[in-house]
Amino acid sequence: MHVSGGWIAHQSELVSIDLDKICEWEGVDTVLRSEDRGKRSKADEDLNLLGEKSLSERLESEYMPDCNWLVVSPEIETKEDFSLTLDKSPDLPMLDQILFVHKPSNLLTLPGIGAAKLVCLASEVNEWLSTDELDGQRILEEGRKSSKRNLRLEQSSSKKRKKKKTVYIPRPCHRLDLDTSGVMVIALTPEALRLTSSMFEERRVQKTYIALVAGHLDTDHGFVEYPIGKVYNPIHDFNEFRCHIPPSARGNVQSTSAADVSTANHLDFVENSLRNAKTEWKVCKRFEISLNNGKMAKYTRVKLKPHTGRGHQLRLHCAAVGHPILGDDLHAPELISRATPRLCLHAEKLEMEVVSPTDAHSQLSKAVATSIPPF
């Protein structure tokens, strides 16, 4: 699949990329590309007048969750020179109190509004933890026993600590968008949720994504550092994430097609919403596929590393530099959004420090969880 190109894995099947749409997008005149945002907005407005829904709204209202999630076994890199006594553990989660899983595309991380959206990654994982006697129940019980051991140690050193009587339900420590797939972390105990969530907030978890983007990037490695904020959308009556390209940098944007879809002027942003954002990218492979009509479809497989955590950051930054992600129905031109049946963005790897319990002591380790990209 990576050699010849032209295909992605989607819902347990190989699906062809619509290469004609990529060629059509590449062939559109630059001036026409810059008008793409207006055309899409006008099209959405016309749909609203007719009482019809846009593609995004149809996907949301006709939510059919893909429940093919999987448990991911992480690789553990032990730091031999750093062992800890059980009563002096750092502010890191215990390895036996977290669970790494693969979330498929088209599955919510947490429940949404309405009965149809109660099915999500959190609900599916919890059902498995409570019903699967062979693995699920064993993993949950081991996590709870680990938590009780640590809690007794903490209480012995601090008499002021009070027990919480509420029943804890395992939940994800972070989120992935509905249409993004990849590896995630589930906290089996409240202590693990608190510690792991703090690590994500403090950018102490390294995340690596794989994406397919339209066109060919000129260089093999680089950074995108355009700020991201929220802009009011009068058609749908909500604030949407947009990217701001300073006037001094607009000459560096390779294509205005996606940039105009995903960017806005400084004065358009909601007050105090604009924040710095940084994404690192590295080319994995450039695809150039000949079609029967003699045209050439070009797209690129890239590795993305977010150095900040802004809303829709990877989508917006790819679009802002003129290489929107295939299948992105929110920030890519219509031709690119319809080139694939899903968003071609996948959380491939999570790397984080953890404490690995042993018989005599706790060992500081690094957990590396990987989910194989479907493209």
Active site residues: 177
Q: Using CA atoms, how far apart are residues 140 and 129, in angstroms rounded to an integer?
A: 6
Tokens standing for residue 326: 């295939």
Query: For residues 352 and 204, is the Cβ–Cβ distance under 8 A?
Result: yes
Which long-range contacts link 148-151 to residues 24+ away (Cβ below 8 Å)? Answer: 149/86, 150/86, 150/89, 150/94, 150/191, 151/191
Tokens of 370: 């990987």
Task: From 223, 192, 220, 225, select the one nearest 99 (Cα to Cα).
Answer: 192
SS3 assignment, position 304: strand
Helices vs strands, H then E, count in the chain: 10, 15
Query: 121-131 and 136-157 helices cross at what angle (nearest 10)?
Result: 90
SS3 content of the chain, % helix, strand, coil (to 5): 30, 30, 40
Phi, psi of 233 (to 5 degrees): -105, 105
Length of the chain: 375
Taking the CA atoms of 331, 34, 41 and 327 in sequence, report the sign of the dihedral they define.
negative
> What 3 state SS string does 72-107 have?
CCCEEEEEEEEEECHHHCCCCCEHHHEEEEEECCCC
Distant-in-sequence, close-in-space partners of 206: CB < 8 Å, separation ≥ 6: 305, 349, 350, 351, 352
